[in-house]
Amino acid sequence: MQPGSARERSRLYRFHLRMSGRLTPLEDIPPHDRLQAWLLPIADAVMVLMVSRPAGGSLRTARVTKVTIWLALVSFAVLGAATGWLLDEAITRGKWILVVPALLALGLSLGCGVLALFGVRQRPVAS
């Protein structure tokens, strides 16, 4: 198969649709429980920071896509590691100015973790 062929573009387009969540009807979104209601404003704020707002403007009426969940999980891990490194540098070398970016990285890391948790809780449990 040649790169850029119609068949390959069609496969890529179907893959894009599947991963973007555009094939998921709105009625498949379950009602939010109490934990999701508490996490929703934080998850919405992280989506704004990621420049990835859903068409409806809020995750209240849209599903978090699988790609966004994975991105949030990877960001949670990387930013968590960066936080640990920055705090280690601040404490061991006495560079106390590094506490400020460490706290920013910690906040972003926790926000990404909340977004991933919110997205996973939107998914139905397979039985």
Beta carbons within 10 angstroms of residue 43's beta carbon: 25
DSSP 2: -
Inside any domain, residue 78 = yes
For residue 116, is pLDDT > 60? yes
- pTM for the whole structure: 0.75
Inside any domain, residue 104 = yes
For residue 34, is pLDDT > 60? yes
**In contact, 83 and 102? CB cutoff 8 Å:** yes
For residue 125, is pLDDT > 70? no
pLDDT at residue 127 in the model: 42
pLDDT at residue 81 in the model: 97
Total number of domains in the chain: 1
pLDDT at residue 42 in the model: 94
Inside any domain, residue 11 = no
Give the span between the Cα atoms of 121 and 29, in whole angstroms.
Answer: 11
Inside any domain, residue 53 = yes
Condensed to tens digits (0 to 9), the pLDDT of residues 55-110 reads 778 888 888 888 899 999 999 999 999 999 999 999 999 999 999 999 999 999 99
**CA 34 remoteness from chain centre:** 20
Inside any domain, residue 33 = yes
pLDDT at residue 26 in the model: 53
Inside any domain, residue 87 = yes
Domain, as residue range, for 31: 27-122
Inside any domain, residue 2 = no
**In contact, 46 and 115? CB cutoff 8 Å:** yes
Range with lowest mean pLDDT among 27-31, 52-56, 75-79, 120-124: 27-31
Over its C-alpha atoms, the chain yields an Rg (Å, rounded) of: 18
Inside any domain, residue 32 = yes
User: Averaged over 5-14, what is the pLDDT?
Assistant: 70
